[in-house]
Amino acid sequence: MRFLKLIGLSAAFALLIAVILRFDPQRIATGLASADPSYVGAGLLLVQVQIVLSALRWRFTAARLGQHLSVGQAIGDYYLGTLLNQLLPGGVGGDAVRAVRNRTYDDGGWKVPAQAVIFERIAGQGVFFLIATVGVMLWPLLGGAMIPEELRHLLSGFALIVAGLVLVCLLLLRFPPRRIRPQLERLKSTLAQVFLQDGAWIMQTLFSIVIVASYIAMFMLASAAIGSPLPALAAVTAIPLCLLMMLIPATIAGWGAREAAAAALWPLFGYPASDGVAASILYGILALVGAAPGLAFILVALLKRQRR
């Protein structure tokens, strides 16, 4: 398993290098070196908004399950988890650390912390997939003239796959097989508790919409910083598709796959592929640097362990 993961990571980094070499590395370097500091500063500020709001969403989700986290604890652990997700393969190592750091030392001590972390991520990914799917479905109508036929078929296939997965999930929850019916009933009850009861859906939706919008805005700022401001249409079409690449488990924070997607999509808005690569690289740098305060929490954890 480790060998397969190593192959996947090597392939991802090889893809990143290949994309840079393929699409005018000098122009990419020039774009990054001349990035507008005001846009870069705004992007770094957005990272802080993402992390703090995500931490508050996690705290709210945990409270729905009966786990109480202080604001400082939630924000600190989220900075740590975000930084680790930027540095570790798969993008979920930091989430596992959040669950471990907040487990209890009794029977079932892992269950609620793990559920809180998983459902918090589901809340964000659900809204993100909704925006991406709607954008992909509307793209041919809003900008159909500029979409190549091959990409049009690819987008249609993506929309159909997502719609099919949603339909399967809904059917499973509505008509569960007898063998897994007890587990699904418990899952339905927990989902209702976290997302529906007592108006919880309002807070979950508001948190997730603002957080997802901040991710999209950050990519828009990264592209504007290197001199390629994107139209509003890109916010619900190209950028969500690029961000989807970050969910590929065989990468570290989407590096390589995200740049390849940007190289393919930026020419649809009149910019060279190299600008898409530069914007994606700058986005990755902003996300990593913006999560750097997580280093402080790593140092604190190491000092506490040393004292023990």
With cut-offs at 50, 70 and 90, classify the pLDDT of residue 127.
confident
With cut-offs at 50, 70 and 90, classify the pLDDT of residue 151.
low
Any domain includes 11: no
Report DSSP state, residue 225: H
Identify whether the C-beta of residue 116 lies closer than 8 Å to the C-beta of residue 60.
Answer: no
Any domain includes 169: yes
Q: What is the pLDDT of residue 5?
A: 59
With cut-offs at 50, 70 and 90, classify the pLDDT of residue 10.
confident
Q: What is the pLDDT of residue 249?
A: 72
Query: Two tokens at 88?
Result: 């570790």
Phi and psi dihedrals of 250, rounded to 5? -85, 20
Query: Please, what is the average pLDDT of the chain?
Result: 84
Q: What is the pLDDT of residue 162?
A: 72
Which helix (H) or strand (E) segment is 279 a member of?
Answer: helix 273-290
DSSP string across 6-72:
HHHHHHHHHHHHHHHHHS-HHHHHHHHHT--HHHHHHHHHHHHHHHHHHHHHHHHHHHHTT----HH
Any domain includes 296: yes
Kindly report the pTM of this predicted structure.
0.87
- pLDDT of 144 strictly over 60: no
Q: What is the pLDDT of residue 203?
A: 93
Any domain includes 13: no
- How far apart are the C-alpha atoms of 102 and 70, rounded to whole Å? 11
- pLDDT of 149 strictly over 90: no
Mean pLDDT confidence for 62-90 = 88
Token pair 């972390």: residue: 117
Q: What is the pLDDT of residue 225?
A: 96
Q: Identify which has the larger pLDDT, 244 or 207.
A: 207
Query: Percent of the chain having pLDDT more than 90?
Result: 35
- 15-38: pLDDT as tens digits: 888 889 989 899 999 999 999 999
Phi and psi dihedrals of 226, rounded to 5? -95, 10
Any domain includes 192: yes
Any domain includes 15: no
With cut-offs at 50, 70 and 90, classify the pLDDT of residue 301.
low
Q: What is the pLDDT of residue 105?
A: 66
- pLDDT of 246 strictly over 70: yes
Radius of gyration of the chain measured on its C-alpha atoms? 20
Ranges 6-10, 33-37, 131-135, 183-187, most confident? 33-37
Mean pLDDT confidence for 184-213 = 88
Residue closest to 43 by CA, chosen among 295, 284, 303: 284
Domain that holds residue 99: 37-307
Number of domains in the chain: 1
Any domain includes 21: no
What are the b/e assignments for 20-33, b being 16+ CB within 10 Å? beebbeebbeebbe
Query: Two tokens at 129?
Result: 């997939």
Query: Two tokens at 120?
Result: 């918090």
Any domain includes 277: yes
Q: What is the pLDDT of residue 48?
A: 94
Q: What is the pLDDT of residue 213?
A: 94
Q: Let me know how long the chain is.
A: 308
Mean pLDDT confidence for 144-163 = 66
What are the b/e assignments for 137-168, b being 16+ CB within 10 Å? bebbeebeeebeeebeeebeebbeebeeeeee
Least confident of 177-186, 222-231, 255-264: 177-186
Q: Identify which has the larger pLDDT, 201 or 3.
A: 201
